[in-house]
Structure 1
Amino acid sequence: MTDRYQSLAHNPIGKFIVTNLGLPNPPVLERWTEGSPLVKGTVLIGAAPHSTVGPRLNATLKSSGIEVVGVRADGKKYKALVFDATGISDTAGLADMQQFFTPALRSLASSGRLVVIGALPEQASTETAAIAQRALEGFVRSAGKEIGGNGSTANLVYVGEGSEDALGSTLGFLLSPKSAFVSGQVIRLGLTELVSPDPVADPAKPLAGKVALVTGASRGLGAAMARTLHRDGAAIVGLDVPALKDELDAVMAELGGTSIAEDITAAEAPQVIAQALKDAHGGVDIVVHNAGITRDKRLKNMKTENWNLVIDISVGAPQRITAELLQQKLLRKGGRVIGISSIAGIAGNNGQTSYGTAKAGVIGFVGDLSKRVAKDGITVNAIAPGFIETDMVKTMPLGIREAGRRLSSLSQGGQPIDVAEAIAWYAHPGSSAISGNVVRVCGQALIGA
């Protein structure tokens, strides 16, 4: 849906009004286009004394074709600022981070990136180190709100012991326009057993040879996910309800994929899906549980049948389908299971008790399953979208729609591609150290922040 306010804010008259009245001024976000470099510009890096990742950063970023420098030059603009804070062992050491960013932020280009790399606080050797590392979260979230006005984002990556060399795919995502609507997030690497990533023969097609199942793939977010995973080289199996079979078939024909028309809440659905994957591809590498519905009502007016349906589609059916794929050993070693949560599952939402419950259940699903399948090199993560410009937006009352758009650090709604790019990042072979994470794609929404 077109954001008319954003268009108005960028014409001469609208810009004058917005500036003089202090109204939200949504920036134009840079998004990645196929064939473009990951980062169009130079990345400035810094590190606190005794940090462990800094020495690897140059090689990690340069291997992705990213230009890196370690000394700031007056008058030069930088597309991203990266600081290795893993060596900060007490609160006094936090000043090293401030001293790097304070002058450098004046040189940050529009749609720029700020990334801090820390050490997992739960693995810290001392109490003071754990406290200092935990403080990084407040720094990044506050910085994101300062720099969002020019389309820039700020994120934190905690690196567990032994995961220092597994940063490539995550930094590539966070530093590039692929993460345009991801800000104020904390990503944890190495929460579960680390498995060596599969080699990538073609960086432009990192998912070549992989098979991806996407539920709810006929339109909206699901179709965007299917297209993006296909762009990255995966063979796509799309699933949706029989009533949407024609739309699903059209998307799969476009991608050279195969369709499964099935109600995932049906008792036989897990077996039907497993058999279809076995027959077509002998298994599956990436499972995206995207299907979901809303039946919004205040709790006092909720019908039990609607409550049950919302929860079963979002979390009950994904549990059963995943369990069947694991039981039949169709989800291959090194596989990816990705759930779709929501900021409603984190912060709650008026009139969405069923939806919020379901999406919080997805988070519980990720936390439990990620530990149980780690031994097989399978990762389990979730995306929690915020306000995304889908067809559902058209049905919202104007006031709620505008609040959803403006109450974020980026002052606008996201696009389906923003969620799809995050899915592709989780699915990347280099993301094997990322499991048990729930990352919001919400433009750092101020609601439930």
Structure 2
Amino acid sequence: MNDYLIQLTKNPIIQKLTNAMGLPKPPIELYRNNHPWEDRPLNDQSVLISQIQQTAITRTLAEIVVKGGGNPFIENDDAIVEIFNQAGKGYGRLPQSIIKGELPDKLSPKILIFDATNLQKPEDLNPVYSFFHSHLRSLAICGRVVILNPEITDQTDVSTATTARALEGFTRAMAREIGFKGATANIVYVAPDAQSRLEPVLRFLLSERSSYITGQPLHISTQVISDEAIPKTRPLDGKTALVTGAAQGIGAAIARAIAREGARVIIMDRPSEDIPAGKLAAEIQGDLLFCDITTPSAGDQILEMVANTDNGLDIVVHNAGITRDKLLVNMKPDAWDQVLDVNLRAILRVNEKLLPIMKNNGRIVCLSSVSGIAGNRGQTNYAASKAGVIGFVSGLASKVLDRGIAVNAVAPGFIETQMTARIPFATRLVARRLNNLNQGGTPDDVAETITFLCSPGAFGLTGQVLRICGGAIIGA
């Protein structure tokens, strides 16, 4: 759906008037990418990197940047420059050393990375402050900021845990300060010995596929046991995916994105959605399964469909969901039961049937919501169901680690769909502005994130909830 304020930014006359009158600038139209995955997603972009000192992941970080197609600029540290030099020789991407706090003329880096994985005490936050204080103003439109942080465990000493959490607060606040230019900032916690799982996560976060994810923490671990190859392109080749509620909206976008990356998609929706589902199946060469997910036989119907495929089942995306909004005191029992049944109980029933037949190295992704994190007036049923989804993900993830199955959820914020288009204009206008990026997201924002979480490279992430909300003001 069109956001008229974003359309205004394309009008040069409006731009001049806004600048001349000192008015707040309209939101920046985000750079997005819904094309097939590419080998070098950084695409010759300038990447400015700093560290407290050399860390265990310095060499890994160097290889990620140069293999991804980035041009590294390193704040003056000869040892780190040499590591990047060794990594870049084979790719023609030698690093440029710069004086701390200074940039070459007219350089506007697209990406800022700070490796803080060896921080130990609050004083270690000072170099982080200095780096971003000096360079944040120069960050390009729709730029990316990523901070790497040590994972906090029961064995982490108090000083390190304190400082690492302080850095998360710093990142969230910084994300709010750079959102006006369409830029994002996220923090990645890296567990000991998990640096080999960092590359796919950074390739996603630094790309234009993560445009509506900002102010978020991600935790990379070695919990999921997997030896599956990690292709950089067509990551879902040969896999079979089930997407529930796939006929329209976000579900259809998910099905398209997963199919684009090579998966055979089973499009599951109610019989009443036969026309849009049929068109989608023809478009992506997918399989159709007309089934009401709330019926007791839904799991068996899916099993029968999967039995007729050649490859088994690799991916399940629990997307089907409904709303029946009313204030709690006015909510009828039917409205309560319908939402809990579709959004939560059906997931438990279907998953119980599907889990035994899922292949090793599989992926399960569920749709939660920021409403499930923060609550929302008039949505006690919906918020309960979506919070329950988070509990489902947390509870299931630890039970399938040895099979290489990763289980995660996404929590979309305000997404421009046919459903949100029916919201009154004034309410819709306010909802768009209640985030760092000052605009709503798109179904493709959700679909690209889920496609990443379904890929082999997401094996470092499990039991997590990734918000796709533009850094919404509500929630954590």
Matched, 1:48 2:52: yes
- Cα distance change of structure 1 residues 423 and 197 upon mapping to structure 2, 3 Å threshold: farther
Q: Percent identity?
A: 40
Q: Out of 407, 413, 421, which is 2:434 matched to?
A: 407
Q: CA shift at 1:340, angstroms?
A: 0.3
CA contact (8 A) 1:211 1:237 kept: yes
Tell me which residue corresponds to 2:123.
Answer: 92
Distance in 2 between residues matched to 1:24 and 1:284, nearest whole Å: 48
CA contact (8 A) 1:51 1:88 kept: no
CA contact (8 A) 1:215 1:288 kept: yes
Matched, 1:220 2:246: no
Matches within 5 A, 1:244-263: 244-263=273-292
Tell me which residue corresponds to 2:61.
Answer: 57
Distance in 1 between residues matched to 2:230 and 2:198, nearest whole Å: 15
CA contact (8 A) 1:211 1:281 kept: no
Tell me which residue corresponds to 2:92.
Answer: none
Of residues 303-312 and 67-76 in structure 1, the stretch that sits farther from structure 2 once superposed is 67-76
Matches within 5 A, 1:115-194: 115-122=146-153, 125-190=156-221, 193-194=223-224
Report how many residues are paired: 445
Distance in 2 between residues matched to 1:158 and 1:297, nearest whole Å: 39
- Cα distance change of structure 1 residues 387 and 197 upon mapping to structure 2, 3 Å threshold: farther
Matched, 1:196 2:226: yes
Matched, 1:445 2:449: no
Tell me which residue corresponds to 2:327.
Answer: 298
Tell me which residue corresponds to 1:278.
Answer: 307
Tell me which residue corresponds to 2:79.
Answer: none
Structure 2 SS opposite 1:154? strand
CA contact (8 A) 1:298 1:351 kept: yes
- Cα distance change of structure 1 residues 33 and 243 upon mapping to structure 2, 3 Å threshold: closer
Distance in 2 between residues matched to 1:105 and 1:95, nearest whole Å: 15
Deviations 1:212-255 (A, max 9, x none): 11111101000000111111111111100111022112101111
CA contact (8 A) 1:32 1:38 kept: no
Q: CA shift at 1:194, angstroms?
A: 3.4
CA contact (8 A) 1:24 1:411 kept: no
Matched, 1:391 2:395: no
Of residues 432-441 and 31-40 in structure 1, the stretch that sits farther from structure 2 once superposed is 31-40
Tell me which residue corresponds to 1:424.
Answer: 451
Tell me which residue corresponds to 2:7.
Answer: 7
Q: CA shift at 1:67, angstroms?
A: 3.0
Distance in 2 between residues matched to 1:22 and 1:305, nearest whole Å: 48
Distance in 1 between residues matched to 2:154 and 2:113, nearest whole Å: 22
Q: Out of 352, 356, 359, which is 2:379 matched to?
A: 352
Q: CA shift at 1:60, angstroms?
A: 2.3
Of residues 27-36 and 232-241 in structure 1, the stretch that sits farther from structure 2 once superposed is 27-36
Deviations 1:50-94 (A, max 9, x none): 532223101123233333332344221211011111111011111
Deviations 1:417-444 (A, max 9, x none): 1000100111111111100110110111
Matched, 1:107 2:113: no
Q: CA shift at 1:101, angstroms?
A: 1.8
Of residues 312-321 and 20-29 in structure 1, the stretch that sits farther from structure 2 once superposed is 20-29
Q: CA shift at 1:282, angstroms?
A: 4.3
Q: TM-score, normalised by structure 2?
A: 0.90
Deviations 1:328-368 (A, max 9, x none): x3211111000000010011111111111111011001100
Distance in 2 between residues matched to 1:422 and 1:279, nearest whole Å: 29
CA contact (8 A) 2:254 2:447 kept: yes
Measured on the aligned residues, the alpha-carbon RMSD in Å equals: 1.7
Matches within 5 A, 1:284-323: 284-323=313-352
Structure 1 SS opposite 2:143? strand
Distance in 1 between residues matched to 2:394 and 2:46, nearest whole Å: 37
Distance in 1 between residues matched to 2:161 and 2:41, nearest whole Å: 33
**Any gaps of 5 or more consecutive residues in structure 2?**
75-96
Tell me which residue corresponds to 1:74.
Answer: 104
